[in-house]
Each structure stands twice: as C-alpha cells, then as structure tokens.
Structure 1
Amino acid sequence: MHNELIFFDTMRQGLWVAVIVSVPILAVALIAGLTVGLFQALTSVQEMTLTFVPKLIAIVAVFWMSMGFMTQTLVSFFQDRLIPLIIGG
C-alpha cells in the first residue's frame, strides 16, 4: 500500500512538472495560431506556409528563451524526487 502511494504521488508530480514545462510553448503556439488565423480570415489569404512559418518561429523563440527554466525544473524534479527514490529503494 505504501509503495503504491509513493508511485502515484511521484506520477502526479511528474505530470504536473510536464504541464509546467510545456505551458510556455503551448501558450505561444495558441496565440500565434489565433493571430495568424484571424489575419487570414480578415484578409482572405489562404496559404499553408502562412500558418506554419510564424507559429514555428514563435515556438522556437520561446523554446530558446525558456530552456533554462525547463532544464532547471526537470533537474530539480529528478534530484528532489526520483533520485532519492532510486537510491532509497
């Protein structure tokens, strides 16, 4: 019973870390997609590269700016939660 609680708590924390790490990229992708979609609807320009390229550039820029935060969050999760579980059990 105790091992199951530790497992599920670790899984819950891991999923929360995954959400926290992915939010900046997903938010920028959503905003860029809505902006480009609104621009296409207002101007009646329907080109496939117009939706792909700005979203890709925005995602890469945010990923580059938030790499430190993502790395720090993942490393702290591993050091604080997973490594003690591996060493202790």
Structure 2
Amino acid sequence: MTDGQVLDLARDAVFTAALMSAPLLIAALITGLIVGLLQALTSVQELTLTFVPKVGVMLLVFSLSAAFMMNLALRLFDDRILPLIG
C-alpha cells in the first residue's frame, strides 16, 4: 500500500465520518438554537432545559438516520477497504 493510497483512504474515511455525523450535529444545532431563543425570551436559565430536548431530538434523528449512516459505512468498507485487502 502506497502513501497515496493511505492518504486517499484517510480522506475518504474523514469525509464519511463527517457525512455520518452531519444529521446529528445539525439536529443538535437547531434544537440548541430554538431552546436558547426560548430561554432568552422567557428568562428561564435552567441547564436541564437545554440538555433534555437535545438528547431527545438526537435520539429521534439517530433512529431515523441509522440506515443512512450504515449505508455510508458499508459503502466505504466495500468500495475502499476491501479492495485494498484483496
């Protein structure tokens, strides 16, 4: 395996990891913005108020996007890693 192949594989792995984490990160960002806006409007500064909705939304998004994440991981493994092994 050459240095170029290692770098290409690492680049593809990082890109796949970014794509896999994007739905969760976007959901946490939007939920945090909404909860932060509600806290600013109501002057309620409770720490659990920010944590619980984020966890709930992230669990929901994870359950909805798990198949997408698995397909990305399998595609990376099938297209990039297995040919290098064989």
Say yes or no: TM over 0.5. Answer: yes
SS in 2 for 1:46: coil
- Number of positions where the alignment pairs a residue of Structure 1 with one of Structure 2: 86
Q: Runs of 5+ in structure 2 lacking a partner?
A: none
Query: Which residue pairs with 1:46 in the alignment?
Result: 45
| Amino acid paired to 1:28 | A
Query: Which residue pairs with 2:59 in the alignment?
Result: 60
Instruction: State the identity as a percent.
Output: 47
Aligned-residue Cα RMSD (Å) equals 0.9
Give the TM-score taking structure 1 as reference length: 0.93
Structure 2 residue 55 is the aligned partner of structure 1 residue 83: no
| Deviation >2 Å, runs of 4+ | none
Q: Runs of 5+ in structure 1 lacking a partner?
A: none
Give the TM-score taking structure 2 as reference length: 0.96
> Greater relative contact order (Cα 8 A, min sep 6): structure 1 or 2?
2
